[in-house]
Amino acid sequence: MDEQKDKKDRTRKKDDWDTGVVVAPMNGDELPKYRRMIYLNRAKRPPKGERPKSDLTKKERRAIVRAGFLAMLPRLLVILVAFGVVALLIWLWLR
């Protein structure tokens, strides 16, 4: 009988600092609205094996990827030119 009482005391005993109060519930309500929508929709998506196959041909997929890269190319060139200008200014300044 004493053994059962000791077990109950051990399971109920909490540390002094643990009051049982929840400071920040992590149920998803603390996320911004756009991230919350991502996490809500993620559960509704079917697994990868159950998704329907795309009706695009290999040639069409390559054209889509190529168009995406061509759309990003001007931004990439602007960034590279900006780094080059900064590197040139640093080189002139430290010379």
Q: Is the pTM of this model over 0.75?
A: no
The residue segments making up the domain with residue 62 are: 58-95
Confidence of residue 62 (pLDDT cuts 50, 70, 90): very high
Q: Please write the tens of the pLDDT for every residue from 20-60.
A: 777 776 666 666 666 666 666 555 667 778 878 889 999 99
The structural domain count of the chain equals 1
The answer to the question of residue 89 being in a domain is yes
Query: Which among 53, 56, 31 has a CA at the least distance from the CA of 42?
Result: 31
The answer to the question of residue 84 being in a domain is yes
Q: What is the rounded distance in angstroms from the CA atom of residue 14 to the CA atom of residue 6?
A: 14
